[in-house]
Amino acid sequence: MHPFIQKVVEPLVSQSAQVCPFLVQKVALEKLLSQVFAIEIAEGDLDCLEGRWLKVYVKDMQIGWRITLSGNRVEVERVAGEADVTISGNAREFALLVSRQEDPDTLFFQRRLTIEGDTELGLEVKNILDALDHENLPFPLKQLLDSVSHVSRFIYAA
């Protein structure tokens, strides 16, 4: 794990988990995701997740979430149960993906990202994320993505 992740990001994530119970995180996260994907949900693009679970697992931090769509609302759970498709990688890879600095296929070819389970569901979600217009994101989220982009450019410059 990169020292920056180990010393700064990981304690921050685990402390925030202690300070802020998962239930609060869950409500905030679900509201945010439902807002971000409002158009996609309304147009039926995310129907593929209705009643099916996508799991995202950050290996070096040993944390993960699973996500589904339930009656036009996004639902998030801390990983416990099964998922239809699981995407896993280290924190670095997810930071590069979220900030659109690396392409998932590239990371997959280089064995830095794995996808197991229903490939079609994973691919569809990937394509929906790619098509998401970052210009239309709520301002705080746009700022957060910009920060992830700057920080990851800085710490992964090598």
Contacts to another protein by CB under 8 A: 43, 45, 48, 100-106, 108-111, 114-116, 119-120, 122-128, 130-134
Residues 44 and 38: their CA atoms lie apart, in Å, by: 10
Residues 46 and 49: their CA atoms lie apart, in Å, by: 6
CB of 122 to another protein, least distance (A): 8
Give 13 or 123: the residue with its C-beta nearer to another protein: 123
Look up tokens 């020292």; give the residue: 3
CB of 33 to another protein, least distance (A): 16
Residues 125 and 46: their CA atoms lie apart, in Å, by: 8
Contact 98, 148 (CB under 8 A): yes
CB of 67 to another protein, least distance (A): 15
Closest residue by Cα to residue 74 from 99, 51, 102, 107:
51
CB of 6 to another protein, least distance (A): 23
Q: Which residues is 116 bridged to in the sheet?
A: 86
CB of 72 to another protein, least distance (A): 18
Contact 151, 143 (CB under 8 A): no
Give 10 or 124: the residue with its C-beta nearer to another protein: 124
Give 10 or 102: the residue with its C-beta nearer to another protein: 102
Give 2 or 100: the residue with its C-beta nearer to another protein: 100
